[in-house]
Structure 1
Amino acid sequence: MNVLLCVQRYLNLVEQSVLGASAPLASGVRRASVQGGRAGRLMHSHKFVELLVVIALSAGAGGLFGAVFDRPLWPAVLHGLTIGAPILLFERGFLLPQLRSKLRRASTPTFLILSLIGMAMAVVAGNALAEGMLRAAEVSWSEPEVSEGITLVYSLTIAALLITAFRVRDLIGPKTLLNLLLGRYHKPIREARVFLFLDLTGSTRFARQNGDRKALALLGRVFALLAGPVRRSGGEIDDYIGDMAVVTWQLKRGVRNAAAVRCLYDFLDEVERDAARWRQDFGEVPRFRAALHCGSVLTAEIGLERHKITYFGDVMNTTSRLEGLAKELNKDVVLSTELLDRLQPLPEGIQMEDLGIRHLRGHDEPLAVSALVRGSS
Structure 2
Amino acid sequence: MGDQTAPSRAMSLFFDRAKPYLAMVSLQFGYAGMYIICMVAFRRGMSHWVLVVYRHAVATVVMAPFAFFVERKIRPKLTVSVFLKIVALGFLEPVLDQNLYYVGMKTTSATFASAFVNVLPAVTFIMAIIFRLEKVNLKRISSLAKVIGTAITVGGAMVMTLYSGPIVNILWYTHGGSQHNSSSSSSDQQHWVTGIITLISCIFGWSGFFIVQSMTLKEYPAELSLTALVCLMGMFESGIVALIFERNMSAWKIGFDSRFLAAAYSGVVCSGIAYYMQSVVNKARGPVFVTAFSPLSMVITAILGAIVLAEQIHLGSLIGAIVIVIGLYSVIWGKGKELSASNTDFEKGKPNQSQILGKNISDLGDEIDIESTGISNIQAKKILAEEP
| TM-score w.r.t. length of structure 1 | 0.29
- Structure that is richer in helix per residue: 2
The structure with more radius of gyration: 2
- Say which structure, 1 or 2, has more relative contact order (CA 8 Å, 6+ apart): 2
- Structure that is richer in strand per residue: 1
| TM-score w.r.t. length of structure 2 | 0.29
